[in-house]
Amino acid sequence: MASGRIMVDSARQVRSASYPVWVYFAVPLLALLIQVYLPLFQTLRFISRIELPLLVTIYFALMRRSQLRGLAIGVTLGLAQDSFLPHQIGMYGICKTLVGYFSASIGMQFDVEHAFVRLVLCFVFYLFHQFFYWLLQRSLLDQPAVFDIQTELLLAAINAIIGVALFHFLDKLRKRD
Amino acid sequence: MESIFYRYRNIIVLLIVIFAQLILLAWQVKSDSDVPMVRVWAVTAVTPVASAIEGFRNGTTGFFSNYFELRNAREQSRQLRTEVERLRVENQLLKNELGSAQRAESLAGFQARNPSKMIGARVIAATPGMGTRSVLIDRGTQSGVRRGMAVVTPDGIVGTVIAVFPFASQVRSVTDPGFAAGVESQNNHVHGVLKGLGTSSVRVDFVPTGQKVDNGEMFFTSGEDRIFPKGLPVGKVTSVREGANFQDITVEPSGTESAPEEVLVIVDPIHQAIPDAPPGDAPVFLAPDINPDAQAPQMGGAGLTTADKMRDQYKKIGDAQKHVFGVGGPGTPPPNFNLKVPGVNAPADPAAPKTPAPAGPASTPSSPAKSAAPQKEPQP
């Protein structure tokens, strides 16, 4: 999976990955389901801090290597996630739209199958996503939200590690050439 | 022109999508409206799966836990193992049912005591976001739930319905930053506005400095918000700090403390008085007296419980033998408690003069034991 170089240097690394159609429905739906169902249990409440919809957005945006496709999956998952929250629809939609677009853009410069690249991108995009959400909450909705940088850095690291494992699993769903 | 558009089409599409969502957000904030169509699609896609998983989990929890417990019993005979497994599964299922029945009984009792009309619902999903708290319940428009209805448990208020779907509703928790409700303290009847903080605690705003609020005091709904009827428990005060104009009061909400699995939606709220005593943590069960002849003790009368009668009887038997309780070292013979004393553990002497008995039992002439009884408490 991981090669020695992290920059794009071969045709294999710029090729867009393709998946069976059911993967595009089942994986985001499963991510949303895990996000809303498992935190019901006292011992599994920490799962609400794992941003599975964000990780799924990053993965498909990186692997499809298309800004428009990244944007589409970002806006879809973001709006779906907004639907389960008691605030106005569009907050997660905007954040994940940007994440989908930018991760597809940046993903074209790197070998996105490299584990280290995935780790760094998940870490950076998680922080970007949380910061931008906080910014929207403060500026657009005028809500008294708190951005605790230490907590967010720790969560970004945890999400990045989980992201690398998740991406490895999702790689197995790719269509074989 | 076309080539410029084609060259920058990605960034143009991004700007259009972002701009559209900003407009959507602005419209929702400005008109205080919602986009039900998007919510209905997403919630309808997820809630049936969540409901099915939750139903499957409820049905199989007992089986799997017992399966793992019984793995060490393989060396036992097959017949006994099968029997034990069957009984344990049955026991676990019955326990689960008992737990559900107790919760249902608690809700039903609360419904019966409370004049408001309510319907029961089950929590099927939690939707915690960044600083937001809400849950999904399995009752929707088909059950008569409407937006803005109050959701409670016997322990306290849980939240308000903010979105209603055909078979589910979204409830904003009291701990959500967007939640607000009118509250009133129990002892001093201080009024304020309850607000969520996005954490497990909530605060009571707009209580002027100088008004008396005690630590540990209960807050109840005041009914001023026209959502929650008056008199429902809200929570206990955990800290009170004086501010410049208003006090900073933190409250531990009692309704969401134990992550309720079943809740009640108030469909027709009716106000009630705030109780003088705080709600108890557990129901009190008073067992009936084992002696059916025992009467309730009366003010100023002698103790009439079974234990009091026995003590009085032994005291009189001891007194009849000139025994002083509490005197004498180890080895000294105890009084003969089988001795028949007329009027105590034997019928009274019928030949005794029938004079009206005075009030004091010690002066009854027909009872020598009583007449000789010193007025001293028996010592163990």
Predicted pLDDT at B356: 43
Q: 3-class DSSP state for residue B118?
A: strand
CB proximity list for B30: less than 8 A, separation 6 or greater: none
- The domain of A159 spans 14-171
SS3 per residue for A68-98? HHHHHHHHHHHHHHHHCCCCCCCHHHHHHHH
Q: Which of B177-191, B245-259, B296-310, B338-352 has the lowest mean pLDDT?
A: B296-310
Mean per-residue pLDDT for A70-76? 92
Nearest chain A CA: its distance from B290 CA (Å): 43
CA dihedral A68, A72, A74, A76 (to 10 degrees): 170
Ranges of each domain in chain B: 36-113, 134-268, 302-380
A-B CB pairs within 8 A amount to 134
Judge whether residue A98 has pLDDT over 80.
yes
Q: How far does A76 lie from chain B, in Å, by closest CA?
A: 10
* B34 chain-A contacts, CB cut-off 8 A: 88-89
| pTM (predicted TM-score) | 0.51
- Domain assignment of residue A8, yes or no: no
Residues of B in contact with A31 (CB under 8 A): none
Q: Which CATH class is domain B134-268?
A: mainly beta
The percent of residues above 70 in pLDDT, for chain A, comes to 90
Q: Which residue on chain A is closest to B257 by alpha carbon? A: A42
Shortest CA distance from B26: residue in chain A: A140
The span from the CA of B23 to the CA of B16, in Å, is 10
Q: Which pLDDT value is given to residue A132?
A: 92
| pLDDT of amino acid B193 | 94
Looking at the predicted structure, is the pLDDT value of residue B322 above 70?
yes
On whether residue A5 sits in a domain, the answer given is no
The secondary structure of residue B363, as a DSSP letter, is: G
User: Can you give the pLDDT at residue A13?
Assistant: 56
Distance (Å) from the C-alpha of residue A56 to the closest C-alpha of chain B? 17
Provide ipTM, 2 decimals.
0.84
pLDDT of B380 strictly over 50: no
pLDDT of residue B72: 57
CB contact under 8 A, A29 and B45: yes
Question: Which residues of A fall within a CB distance of 8 Å from B260?
Answer: none
Residue contact B17–A71, C-beta within 8 A: yes
Q: Does A97 touch chain B (CB under 8 A)?
A: yes
The Cα–Cα gap between B107 and B339 comes to 58
**What would the pLDDT profile of B69-123 be if each residue is shown by its tens digit?**
666 555 566 677 677 777 887 787 787 778 777 777 777 777 777 777 888 888 8
Give percent of chain B with pLDDT exceeding 90: 15
The nearest alpha carbon in chain A to B51 belongs to A37
From CA A109, how far away is CA B344, in angstroms rounded?
105
CB proximity A29 to B under 8 Å: yes
Ranked by mean pLDDT, the top range of A69-78, B299-308, B366-375 is A69-78
Residue B360: pLDDT band with limits 50, 70, 90: very low
Q: What is the pLDDT of residues B46-67, one digit of tens each?
A: 777 777 777 777 767 666 666 6
Lowest-confidence region among A96-110, B307-321, B337-351? B337-351
How far, rounded to the nearest angstrom, does the alpha carbon of residue B207 sit from its chain's CA centroid? 28
Mean pLDDT (whole number) for B145-172: 90
With respect to residue A167, please indicate whether it lies within any of the assigned structural domains. Answer: yes
The reply to whether A50 falls in a domain is yes
For residue A70, being part of any structural domain is answered with yes
Nearest chain A residue (CA) to B25: A90
B1 confidence band (pLDDT: 50, 70, 90): low
Into how many domains does chain A fold?
1
- State whether residue A138 sits within 8 Å of chain B by CB: no
* Contacts with A70 from chain B: Cβ below 8 Å: none
Share above pLDDT 90 across residues of chain A, in percent, rounded to a whole number: 41
Looking at per-residue pLDDT, the higher value among B40 and B330 belongs to B40
Task: Please list every residue in chain A whose beta carbon sits closer than 8 Å to the beta carbon of residue B136.
Answer: 36, 84
Say how many C-beta atoms besides its own lie within 10 A of residue A40's C-beta: 23
pLDDT at B200 (0 to 100):
81
CB B72 within 8 A of CB B34: no
Q: Do A84 and B162 touch (CB under 8 A)?
A: no
User: Which residue does chain A place closest to B179, by CA atoms?
Assistant: A86
Residue A32 lies in a domain: yes
The reported pLDDT for the residue numbered B277 is 62
Interchain contact A13–B (C-beta under 8 A):
no
Residue A128 touches chain B, beta carbons under 8 Å: no
Q: Is residue B363's pLDDT more than 90?
A: no
Assess if residue A9 is contained within a domain. Answer: no
**pLDDT at residue number B373:** 39
Calculate mean pLDDT across residues B147-172. 90
Q: Is the pLDDT of residue B68 over 70?
A: no
B46/A29 CB distance under 8 A = yes
Cα–Cα distance for residue pair B11/B4, rounded to 1 Å: 11
Q: Is pLDDT at B198 greater than 60 in this prediction?
A: yes
Q: Min CA distance, B259 vs chain A (Å)?
A: 8
The answer to whether residue A6 sits within a structural domain is no
pLDDT average, residue stretch B267-280: 67
